[in-house]
Amino acid sequence: MPGIENKAEKASLPHGALADAFTETRALTEALAAPLSDADATIQSMEDASPAKWHLAHTTWFWETFLLRDHAPDYSLFNDRYPFLFNSYYEAEGERIARLSRGMLSRPTLAEILRWRAHVTDAMADLMDDPKCADLIALGIAHEQQHIELLLTDIKHALFQNPAGQAMFAGTPEPAMSPGAHQDWHKHPGGIALIGHQLSGFAFDNEGPRHRVLLEPFALSRRLVTNSQWAEFVADGGYRTASLWLSDGWAWVNQNCVAAPLYWHEDAAFSHQGWHTRDPDAPVTHISYYEADAYATWSGARLPTEFEWEAIARGQDGEMPAHDPCSGNQLDTAEAPMTAGGESLFGDCWQFTRSAYLPYPRFQPAGGAVGEYNGKFMSGQFVLKGASCATVRGHSRASYRNFFYPHQRWQFTGLRLAKDI
């Protein structure tokens, strides 16, 4: 996902726990990719997505480049062609293969990439007890966790292109929890809220510096918008009513013949388990910012700002404790991610806000290559908050700022309504 390679604050885990997190993250990446054939892992369905094999390789390139190459004097590159093939966007690291051409890499094979992964994972053991490397290791773990989510969403989009509706994981999707018969709200009296990363421990640099924001009284829905609620929007002509849409959104709808969320077809939905009957109580997902904004307008509400969302998540509404970022439906094991519903602010799907992705006051991009992929993306994108069913549990937090362009919807993206009070 965009913006993942960013400078982090201090690592929060002791070295032993950091080593465990490294091992568990590397193993989870490989376990999720295990059902894929070499052909599955090589295909690239669009420029926004990358092949699963490329994710396996790029995360390994990160460890080899920023840890082993720079901090292990006796280490030699596994293959001197790999930096060109598996660098993502680091200008400081030199030339690289064009993003759209990643799906043309039939070689190296998946088996060769897995051998490289094993080699790098073993070599990293010598750096785990080096305190000078702790911050970069924490960053690398977060980086790979984000690529785990990208691997899942990218392969879902790739398998969706197959008319046979091929499944990645076996089994039948479980029904979602009932969202309840009516909408309920977290109410906030307004006032000054402290925004941004406020604790010791890991955070990307775009989460700070912490600063004050003045909020007007508002309310935030306790639940995400569901498939059944979205179906009402569709049936009421939501995709055919220009007055509901931003100008760019209306142009996007018409140019792309959009009439429903991505992966919908009649009463069915496509998932990592193939085609199945769409669960009306599950949170709607795979929608764009344009769609989220149009639905909010149709419903008589609006999207929250990122600051309103964070204030509720921190318990700054005067009526409730802070939400646990590890709660909700998030990724724990190598199984198919599915939306489930519930009242946690975290999990199920990333939630669009109406906030443009911009720097906080006094923000300064980090120096060096690891700081490249943050500040320079602060243009034309919108902030999303929370976590999704494909987010590794423990990865997100109240200050976390995900971001996408307004037309993108291949990620697990949904919405939670807000209103003025």
Q: What is the pLDDT of residues 128-165, one digit of tens each?
A: 999 999 999 999 999 999 999 999 999 999 999 999 99
Asked if pLDDT for residue 179 goes beyond 60, the answer is no
What was the pLDDT predicted at 47? 95
What was the pLDDT predicted at 375? 72
Those residues with Cβ within 8 angstroms of residue 237's Cβ, 6 or more apart along the chain or in another chain: none
- Split at pLDDT 50, 70, 90, the class of 198 is confident
What was the pLDDT predicted at 122? 97
Q: How far apart are CA 417 and CA 421, in angstroms?
A: 13
What was the pLDDT predicted at 15? 56
Cα angle value 217/416/326 (rounded, 5°): 100
Across the range 355-363, mean pLDDT stands at 96
Across the range 345-372, mean pLDDT stands at 89
Give pLDDT tens digits for 87-136. 998 888 999 999 999 999 999 999 999 999 999 999 999 999 999 999 99
pTM (global) more than 0.85: yes
Q: How far apart are CA 305 and CA 195, in angstroms?
A: 12
Residue 285, phi then psi, degrees to nearest 5: -150, 175
- Split at pLDDT 50, 70, 90, the class of 391 is very high
CATH number given to 15-160:
1.20.120
| HSE-up (13 A, CA, CB side) for residue 264 | 19
Across the range 170-188, mean pLDDT stands at 74
Percent of the chain clearing pLDDT 70 (strictly above): 92
Instruction: Name which of 126, 127, 108 is nearest 117 in CA terms.
Output: 108
Mean pLDDT of the chain: 92
Instruction: Name which of 59, 281, 249, 254 is nearest 150 in CA terms.
Output: 59
Domain chopping of the chain, boundaries = 15-160, 185-420
Topology given in CATH for the domain delimited by 185-420: paralog of FGE (formylglycine-generating enzyme) (3.90.1580)
Asked if pLDDT for residue 229 goes beyond 50, the answer is yes
Asked if pLDDT for residue 259 goes beyond 60, the answer is yes
Give pLDDT tens digits for 260-317. 999 999 999 999 999 999 999 999 999 999 999 999 999 999 999 999 999 999 987 5
Instruction: Name the one residue in this structure whose structure tokens are 């010791």.
Output: 200
What was the pLDDT predicted at 180? 54
CA distances from 194 to 116, 159, 189, 210, 386 (A): 44, 43, 15, 7, 18
Give pLDDT tens digits for 43-74. 999 999 999 999 999 999 999 999 999 999 99
What was the pLDDT predicted at 6? 37
